Amino acid sequence: MIRRASCQSDNTFSVATDTAIVRRNAQNHDARYGKDKFHLSIWYDEPANLMSDIVEHGGPSPLWLCPGKGNAVTQKGNVMSKSLIQLLNTTYPLIQAPMAGVSTPALAAAVSEAGALGSLGLASASLDQAASMIREVQSLTRKPVNVNFFCHQPTVADPVANQAWLDHLRPMFDEFGATPPSELRDIYRPFPGYAQMLELVLETRPAVVSFHFGLPSQEYIDALKNAGIVLMATATTPAEARQIETAGIDVLVAQGYEAGGHRGVFDPENGDAQFGTFALVHMLAKQSSLPVVAAGGIMDGDAIKAALALGASGVQCGTAFVLCPESAANDAYRQALQSERAYDTRVTITLSGRAARGLRNRLYIDEPSAARPATPGYSMTYDAAKALNAVASARGNYDFAAQWAGQAAALARPMSAAQMVQTLADEAGW
Amino acid sequence: MIRRASCQSDNTFSVATDTAIVRRNAQNHDARYGKDKFHLSIWYDEPANLMSDIVEHGGPSPLWLCPGKGNAVTQKGNVMSKSLIQLLNTTYPLIQAPMAGVSTPALAAAVSEAGALGSLGLASASLDQAASMIREVQSLTRKPVNVNFFCHQPTVADPVANQAWLDHLRPMFDEFGATPPSELRDIYRPFPGYAQMLELVLETRPAVVSFHFGLPSQEYIDALKNAGIVLMATATTPAEARQIETAGIDVLVAQGYEAGGHRGVFDPENGDAQFGTFALVHMLAKQSSLPVVAAGGIMDGDAIKAALALGASGVQCGTAFVLCPESAANDAYRQALQSERAYDTRVTITLSGRAARGLRNRLYIDEPSAARPATPGYSMTYDAAKALNAVASARGNYDFAAQWAGQAAALARPMSAAQMVQTLADEAGW
């Protein structure tokens, strides 16, 4: 197992393993290996150099070669992206997805402490809540943490559309002896143009900030970069990936159609290309110069290996962390995820107003239907769904809850966040 | 490169490589290796045995270990499913997708001659055409070939729905100075209940028969199995996979949402779960005892490696073979596939009446739309689209053509079928 890793400017790579410090100069093949053949790991800038070492120096035991430029090759024959873990300053190229409403400071901190990148989803947080969550996670860990924001165009309020939607939901409220709210509010303010939120980030300086639903202005991006913050953004298409690259973002998160939660589509008016994880990760890895993080359907080490084979530099897992005791998921959500319902996820806009994948429930069933009016947009639709879920769940009914989950949700395993990180790393052969 | 392989009942595995015959008994570790370290391949029933060999016998050079039970591990560290290539009697666990209308006897024969499994899509063939195609491919190769049939429930004719659809298309016919056909016919007869087609298959005995859109009756399945024909069927969900396994089919084709052509969904009335290749292959490989063939978005060796990492025993590639000179794709289709349009595939029911993925064109754009009537079902809808495409393409307009393609179509490469098989095998490290 890798305990510590660093890269010097003279091309010397240094790795501390369980049993030895390994140093290797990529130029002169001056290699000293550890003794324990089961715990040796070495950085290689080129797989060919590993082959040279085996042929020229013999090595302490057979070593496994995997493809990938600039990667760390471990004893078990697996590969970790050097550039990504250097960028993120983590032990593993593994990110816990932000999952607004499900992630907590405790979850993010536990993940980061275990060597992956923990994330906070702040899309649904007020300025005060965001400040409190960032400060809490920073009090729990000094390791890098990622903070995620949504960058959608705010919906123009349309009282007629709001009312039509509330009328549509009225029979469901009736079932619980409740009435719909009198109006719907745009409950979530997007990051672009939110100067106080930018200020908070610049003041608290999380190691990583990531964007969903598009990008903020170049001014915001530059301000964050100048503060030394590493930036990531979600792409669901090759075209979005090109925009992200042009804006100077550091890491691409390739979100496949399998992924739970909100689809990161920049402009929903243009439709959703629905690229699956397999096709999207492969195309972006081939066509972008940025490190690609695969997201969508990744639940275990085999899936991580597959994502890396497709050219990803790392992976982002969301649903895999929902069952951790540190997540904010309630009991109903946890039970549903471990039931047959886990096989039945769908993408819908009727819960929040933007397309999102979750366990299918009564708010999904009616979509698409000529009988329902247009949704009033994000996040008014979400405001309505939350009101409906509040009255339903107060009566023990979770038919209207937002239980986001990816298509491989049936493979979710309940364990602590630290165990999950270690399990994934072990299974990936890291 | 593996030249010949066999497995005896006493657990002795034998492989002929470029330079030596390798024999290995899984029980007593009596191994003799070939001399040329670059061309040695060995069957192992358990990866652990390969590790033992390295530790105990040293081996002629470093060997690479890959996971997978009952697999052939090649010198390059890659893995081929022993059970699948034994079942299919091919050199590689690689299948050219059937692609009715695109596959030809020449394509299937070239693929099979090159060591993969060539396929004929006979869903659109009459009995005479099917007989002629099967006999032609059998005259071109003695290697195994797969013959594919559709197993849909025939649509009940509805003259009102047909007429409404024709009226909907009338303005498009108008553009070319043409009138829609006076009626729509169900042009493709499904395999279930088609006794003469079953007879033809039993008489000509292709090595492999595969099913799409469901399964024929158990009587048909048993008749084919009793004739020594290997059977494969497409699953798009875990539930369909369970049905396939219960019916005694030999191989599962896991068709991800990325895949070009018709979605294999058994019962479209129940909706489409839209599982991406990544999630579906992984879940079916974990949950089924059958060998799983991954389909959807697989265009090169990296994608093959990823599919195998997810637990697949082999892969099926369709779009990767469309640009082969042996395919029936016309020039417009080939050009479109090599243009920016390759990034824009969609699933629609407006072309054939069943959901299928292809390059988006004018028949896709209007879906879903309240302005269009319900399609008249499969294959009446196809009959209409073919009539429209006939008049349009006669004027050099291909806006209504069925140009099926998967989501990774932009990675398609023009080369002969034999070159494609060899390229994929080389890239996969086989």
Where does CATH 3.20.20.70 sit in chain A? 86-152+189-329+412-428
When pLDDT is cut at 50, 70 and 90, the band that residue A400 belongs to is very high
What pLDDT is recorded for position B152? 97
| B191, B197, B203, B204 alpha-carbon torsion, rounded to 10° | -70
Distance from CA of B391 to the nearest CA of A (A): 30
A104 to chain B, any CB pair closer than 8 A? The answer is no
**Residue A44 scores a pLDDT above 70:** no
Q: Token digits for B136? A: 């032609």
Chain B residues in contact with A297 (beta carbon < 8 A): 276, 278-279, 282
Write the residue in B282, B302, B311 that is nearest to A297 by C-beta.
B282
Which of A306, A343, A368 is nearest residue B278 as measured by Cβ atoms?
A: A306
In this predicted model, which residue has the larger pLDDT, A34 or B418?
A: B418
* Calpha distance A280→A282 (Å, rounded): 5
Which is higher by pLDDT, A34 or B103? B103
Give how far B5 is from chain A: nearest CA, Å: 25
Q: Do B77 and A54 touch (CB under 8 A)?
A: no
Q: What are phi and psi of A252, to 5 degrees?
A: -95, 125
- Across the interface, do A275 and B407 touch by the CB < 8 Å criterion? yes
Residues of B in contact with A411 (CB under 8 A): 282-283, 286
Q: Which residues in A lie closer than 8 A to residue B59 (C-beta atoms)?
A: 62
Chain B residues in contact with A54 by the CB 8 A cut-off are 62
Q: Around Cβ B159, how many Cβ atoms within 10 Å?
A: 10
Residues in chain B: 430
DSSP state, A340?
G
Query: In degrees, to the nearest 5, what angle opens at C-alpha A104 toward C-alphas A101 and A107?
Result: 130
Pull the structure tokens for residue A98. Answer: 């932000």
Mean pLDDT calculated for residue range B176-204: 97
Q: Which amino acid is at B82?
A: K
Cβ–Cβ of B277/A280 closer than 8 Å? no
* Fold classification of B83-154+189-329+412-428 (topology level): TIM Barrel (3.20.20)
Residue of B nearest to A370 (CA): B370
What pLDDT digit, counting tens, does each position of A84-131 carry?
Answer: 999 999 999 999 999 999 999 999 999 999 999 999 999 999 999 999
pLDDT at A177 over 70: yes
Q: Torsions phi, psi of B387, nearest 5?
A: -65, -45
Residue A130 CA to residue A132 CA, distance in Å, equals 5
The pLDDT of residue A371 is 74
Give residues with Cβ within 8 angstroms of A142, minimum separation 6. Answer: none
Does the structure show a pLDDT above 90 at B334? yes
pLDDT cut 90: percent of chain A above it: 77
Report, as an integer, the average pLDDT of B181-195. Answer: 97
| B315-318 CB contacts, 8 Å cutoff, 24+ apart | B315/B93, B315/B94, B315/B95, B316/B94, B316/B95, B316/B96, B316/B97, B316/B253, B317/B94, B317/B95, B317/B96, B317/B97, B317/B424, B318/B96, B318/B97, B318/B99, B318/B102, B318/B259, B318/B260, B318/B261, B318/B404, B318/B406
Please state which of the ranges B131-140, B211-220, B356-365 shows the lowest mean pLDDT: B356-365
Place of tokens 């990938």: A68
Cβ contact, residue pair A278, B299, below 8 Å: no
B55 Cα to chain A: minimum distance (Å) = 8
Long-range contacts of A60-63 (CB under 8 A, 24+ apart): A60/A33, A60/A34, A60/A35, A61/A37, A62/B54, A62/B59, A62/B62, A62/B63, A63/B62
Q: Does residue A278 contact residue A297 with C-beta atoms inside 8 Å?
A: no
- The closest alpha carbon to A264, from A217, A307, A214, belongs to A214
Q: Where in chain B is the domain with CATH 3.20.20.70?
A: 83-154+189-329+412-428
Q: Which residue of A has its CA nearest to B277?
A: A278
User: CA–CA separation, A98 vs A119, rounded Å?
Assistant: 5
Residue in A258, A286, A309 closest to B276 by CB: A258
Radius of gyration of chain A (CA): 23
Task: Give the one of A62, A237, A305 whose C-beta lies nearest to B62's C-beta.
Answer: A62
pLDDT value at residue A363 = 85
Q: Which of A67, A82, A42 is nearest to A310 (CA)?
A: A67
Would you list the DSSP string of B300-311? SHHHHHHHHHTT
Contact A406 B303 (CB under 8 A): no
Element (H, E) at A365: helix A362-365
Interface mutation target, options A33, A257, A278, chain B, most CBs of B under 10 Å: A278
- Which pLDDT tens digit goes with each residue over B195-249? 999 999 999 999 999 999 999 999 999 999 999 999 999 999 999 999 999 999 9
Q: Touching check for B47 and chain A: CB below 8 Å?
A: no
Tell which residue, A59, A80, A78, A57, has the closest CA to residue A70: A80
Q: Which residue has the higher pLDDT, A315 or B44?
A: A315
Q: Given a cut of 50, is residue B117 above it in pLDDT?
A: yes
Q: Between chains, do B279 and A77 touch, taking CB under 8 Å as contact?
A: no
Which of B273, B276, B307 comes nearest A297 by C-beta?
B276
Any A CB within 8 A of B79 CB: no
Between A67 and A428, the higher pLDDT residue = A428
Residue B417 identity (one-letter amino acid): A
Q: Using a CB-CB distance cutoff of 8 angstroms, which residues of chain A are in contact with residue B408?
A: 278-279, 282-283
The 8-class DSSP code of residue B333 comes to: H
Mean pLDDT of chain B: 85
Torsional sign, CA B98, B103, B106, B110: negative
Q: CB of A371 within 8 Å of any CB in chain B?
A: no
A8-28 burial, b for 16+ CB within 10 Å, e for fewer?
eeeebbebbbeebebbbebee
Average pLDDT over residues A137-149: 98
Higher pLDDT, A250 or B74: A250
DSSP, residue by residue, A273-334: ----HHHHHHHHHHH-SS-EEEESS--SHHHHHHHHHTT-SEEEESHHHHTSTTS---HHHH
Residue B236 is given by DSSP the state S
pLDDT reported for residue B56: 38
Q: Which CATH architecture has domain A86-152+189-329+412-428?
A: Alpha-Beta Barrel (3.20)
Mean pLDDT of A275-298: 96
Shortest CA gap B49–chain A (Å): 15
Q: Region A209-238: what's the mean pLDDT?
A: 98
Q: What is the pLDDT of residues A180-195, one digit of tens each?
A: 999 999 999 999 999 9
Backbone torsions φ then ψ of B76, nearest 5 degrees: -80, 5
Nearest-Cα distance to chain A for B399, in Å, is 19
Window 162-221 of B, Cβ < 8 Å to A: none
- Please state the ipTM of this predicted complex: 0.83
Cβ neighbours of residue B55 under 8 Å, at least 6 residues apart? Answer: none
Sheet strand arrangement including B4-7 = B4-7, B12-16, B21-25, B31-32
- The answer to whether A116 and A91 are in contact (CB under 8 A) is yes
| Distance, CA of A415 to CA of A45 (rounded, Å) | 35
Residue B5 or residue B125, greater confidence: B125
The whole-number pLDDT of residue A337 equals 98
- DSSP letter (8 states) at residue A9: T
Checking if the pLDDT of A40 tops 80, the result is: no
Pinpoint the alpha helices (H) of A58-179.
82-88, 105-113, 127-140, 159-174
Instruction: For residues B27 and B406, give the distance between their C-alpha atoms in angstroms, rounded to a whole number.
Output: 45
385-414 of A, contacting B, C-beta below 8 A: 406-408, 410-411
Phi-psi region of A92 (alpha: psi -120 to 50; beta: other; left: phi over 0): beta
Contacts of A280 (CB under 8 A, 6+ apart): A235, A236, A237, A254, A255, A256, A257, A296, B407
**Min Cα–Cα distance to chain B from A244, Å:** 18
**Cβ contact, residue pair A407, B307, below 8 Å:** no
Tokens of B258: 């990325």
Beta strands in B56-160 (DSSP E): 71-74, 79-81, 94-96, 118-121, 145-150
Residues of chain B positioned with their CB less than 8 A from the CB of A303: 278, 282, 309-310
What is the nearest CA distance from A306 to chain B, expressed in angstroms? 4
Dihedral sign of CA atoms B301, B302, B307, B313 in order:
positive
Residues in chain A closer than 8 A to B54 (CB atoms): 62
A305 to chain B nearest CA, in Å? 6
Interface of A with B in 298-357 (CB under 8 A): 298-299, 302-303, 305-307, 309-311, 343-344, 347
Least confident of A30-39, B99-108, B303-312: A30-39
* Element spanning A30, H or E: none
Residues from chain B that touch A370, judged by Cβ atoms under 8 A, are 370
For B51, residues 6+ apart whose C-beta sits below 8 A from its C-beta are B65
Confidence of residue B81 (pLDDT cuts 50, 70, 90): low
CA distance B152 to A4: 58
Q: Do B407 and A276 touch (CB under 8 A)?
A: yes
Q: Look at residue B243 in the predicted model and tell me its pLDDT.
A: 98
